[in-house]
Amino acid sequence: MCLGIPGQVVSVEGKTAVTEFWGVRKEIKLDILEEAVQPGDTIVVHAGYAIRRVPPADVADTLATYEVVLCEAGEDPIALDVIEDLEPHSV
């Protein structure tokens, strides 16, 4: 199973967005995302690519769900993969 990670777009330059995930910033590729994003938008990212823009009405519920999953996961290997993906390449 793969898990996409929600993050907030900080800036966009061409097909790359600097995106913040719980205080960690990463450059994310926008190549496969069909809709345009702008600073302030929330996107779901997998393997360094934006795969979905979260509708503004769904952002609070989406982030709350991820907070619960990450807080309750403990030693869950999926949560550890998410944490490892966020740490090495901060911008």
pLDDT in tens, 33-88: 999 999 999 999 999 999 999 998 888 888 788 777 777 766 554 555 555 666 65
Q: How far apart are CA 25 and CA 57, in angstroms?
A: 23
Owning domain of residue 16: 5-86
User: Per the domain annotation, does 20 fall within a domain?
Assistant: yes
Backbone torsions φ then ψ of 52, nearest 5 degrees: -165, 140
Domain count, the chain: 1
Instruction: Specify the pTM.
Output: 0.72
User: Per the domain annotation, does 38 fall within a domain?
Assistant: yes
User: Per the domain annotation, does 23 fall within a domain?
Assistant: yes
User: Per the domain annotation, does 91 fall within a domain?
Assistant: no
Q: Domain holding 31: CATH number?
A: 2.30.30.140
User: 5-26: string of b/e by CB count within 10 Å (b at 16+)?
Assistant: bbbbbeebeeeebbbebeebbb
